[in-house]
Amino acid sequence: MSQHAFLLTAGVIFLLIALGHLFRIVFGLPFVVRDIAVPMWASGVAMVIMGYLGYEAFRLARKPHA
């Protein structure tokens, strides 16, 4: 797999995860892991991090590489 294809794939995956967290926040969906409720603020933090990683992956994919 070329670096360009990898970066595009990673960017799509990160942005899909960020959208999933956004939908959880907007619709107030509960998320429980082994009887522990994950707070909404954790999805907010994850959404920001995943969105940033997706943005960076797309930005790097646009750059011409040697």
Q: Count CB-CB contacts under 10 A for residue 5.
A: 10
How high is the pLDDT of residue 66? 56
Dig out the tokens for 3 from the structure. 């670096």
How high is the pLDDT of residue 64? 78
Q: How far apart are CA 20 and CA 46, in angstroms?
A: 10
Are the C-beta atoms of residues 21 and 50 closer than 8 Å to each other?
yes
Residue with tokens 């707070």: 39
How high is the pLDDT of residue 44? 96
How high is the pLDDT of residue 29? 93
Weakly modelled stretches of the chain, pLDDT under 50: none
Q: How far apart are CA 60 and CA 38, in angstroms?
A: 32
